[in-house]
Amino acid sequence: MAARGDKPIVNKSKGLRLGLVGATGAVGTVALEILNSRAHDWAEIVPIASARSAGKTLAVHDKQIAVQEISAEVFKGLDVAVFDVPDEVSAQWAPIATAQGVVVVDNSAAFRMNDQVPLVVPEVNAKEIANRPLGIIANPNCTTLSMIVVIGALHQRFTLQELVVASYQAASGAGQAGIDTLDEQIAQVAGKRLGRTAGDVRSAVGAQEIFPAPLAMNVIPWAGSLKEGDFTSEEHKVRNESRKILGLPDLKVAVTCVRVPVSTTHSLAVHAKFAKRITAQDARTILESAPGVKVVDDPVQMKFPTPIDVVGTDPTWVGRIRQSLDDDHALDFFVSGDNLRKGAALNAIQIAELVEVS
């Protein structure tokens, strides 16, 4: 399987005009890179951003194209628009775009749990793309996307019943500011013989703004904002989005989200229970032929996914596949996925490529 530039499952985009909203942001930049690496099926790609970036030129299939300022007018004549912007921007502008007849693929959380908006992962539930009464298709959270392609492939055969998940989320999940913070903290502690007390690292990295504790030389059992039951928003997203994507509204899901000192690529340790008996070899056989999955699983040779190998690639990598010691209907495994590619930009582009416009 190609690590980058994978062909779409079925490309419907030929002859359609695509708008890329948020083209100059962290995810938008990756989205444009992905678009430039894929088949030239779009009739036109229009980069769109805020007034601050309007007029800047970006390379789009070997041409320098000026970024257009977001406005109602800019959506006229477009067929599909991918939104890589904050929730509040999507909430404001997505309905304006759909009023112009544009199909919106939204990468924010603004519409994910709306009953009239499908939440789509093409390898799992592509058929839902056509079910869009509001003209909007939502892209899942990057943490969910880092595991759901693997889960979906196994669920199709063995019927998922329960999930217990611990995430290991990269600093980039908090945006460019998260990456910059981690880089700064690593520089601040590099080469220092720090002691074992909390004050040593805290004094070295200084005041915290992006994360609730130092991330360098540390892990933080917190990602997102505080929600009901003392869970975080990230933990709620993994639970609620998995249920919606898989069509399992009563799926039992237990999640703990942890931030780790990795720049880009989320990983998750997963315990999955199924209705049918499943072996590790069953899982390997299915996953080795599943679209969007790369199996790296050789315990004797100590081969398994790690973020530094996965970053910059498109598939979800999976390894450490084991049948549970206490339940022959359950598996334990480890997954990693680039949270800026499949976890955000790539999945949205894959959805856009499958949109059919009447």
What is the per-residue DSSP string for 49-83?
E-TTTTT-EEEETTEEEEPEEP-TGGGTT-SEEEE
Give the pLDDT band of residue 195 (cuts 50, 70, 90).
low
63 exposure class (CB count in 10 Å sphere: 0-12, 13-18, 19+): exposed
Tokens of 109: 């959380």
Residue 157 pLDDT exceeds 70: yes
Q: Which two tokens stand for residue 138?
A: 């939502």
Shortest CA distance to 237 belongs to which of 315, 162, 147, 152?
147
Report whether 304 contacts 334 (CB < 8 A).
Answer: yes
This prediction has a pTM of 0.92
pLDDT at 11 (0 to 100): 59
Give the residue with greater pLDDT, 125 vs 206: 125
pLDDT for 54-86, tens place per residue? 999 999 998 999 999 999 999 999 999 999 999
More confident residue, 293 or 358: 293
Pairing state of beta strands 136-138 and 103-106? parallel
Report pLDDT digits (tens) over 5-22: 444 455 566 689 999 999
- Containing 166, the helix (H) or strand (E) segment is strand 160-169
Known catalytic residue at 142: yes
**What is the token pair recorded at 315?**
């598939």
Q: Are strands 44-49 and 17-21 parallel, antiparallel or unpaired?
A: parallel
Nearest 5°: phi and psi at 319?
Answer: -160, -165
DSSP codes joined into one string, 259-328:
E-S-SS-EEEEEEEEESS---HHHHHHHHHTSTTEEE--BTTTTB---HHHHTT--SEEEEEEEE-SS-T
Measured in residues, the chain has a length of 358
Percent of the chain with pLDDT over 70: 94
Compute the Cα dihedral for 135, 78, 140, 259 and give only its sign.
Answer: negative
Q: What is the rounded CA–CA span in Å between residue 319 and residue 273?
A: 17
CB atoms within 10 A of CB 262: 22
CA distance 113 to 350: 20
* Mean pLDDT on 160-181: 96
Cα gap 349→342, rounded to integer Å? 9
- Marked catalytic residue, from 155, 236, 257, 266: 266
Look-up of token digits 């997954």: 335
Crossing angle between the packed helical segments 176-189 and 198-205, to the nearest 10 degrees: 120
- Rounded to an integer, what distance in angstroms lies between the CA atom of residue 126 and that of residue 134? 17
| Catalytic residue (one of 40, 61, 142, 329) | 142
Task: Look at residue 5 in the predicted model and tell me its pLDDT.
Answer: 42
pLDDT at position 12? 64
Q: What's the pLDDT score for residue 353?
A: 94
- Two tokens at 16? 């359609």
User: For the segment 110-124, what is each residue's pLDDT rounded down to a tens digit?
Assistant: 999 999 999 999 999
Average pLDDT score over residue span 174-183: 93
Q: Chain-wide mean pLDDT for the chain?
A: 93
Residues 196-220, mean pLDDT to the nearest whole number: 86
Q: Is 257 a catalytic residue?
A: no
Neighbours of 203 (CB within 10 A): 12
Q: In this structure, are residues 257 and 238 in contact, taking their beta carbons and an 8 Å threshold?
A: yes
**305 token code pair:** 């996914």
**In the chain, what are the helix, strand and coil shares in percent, each to the nearest 5?**
35, 25, 40
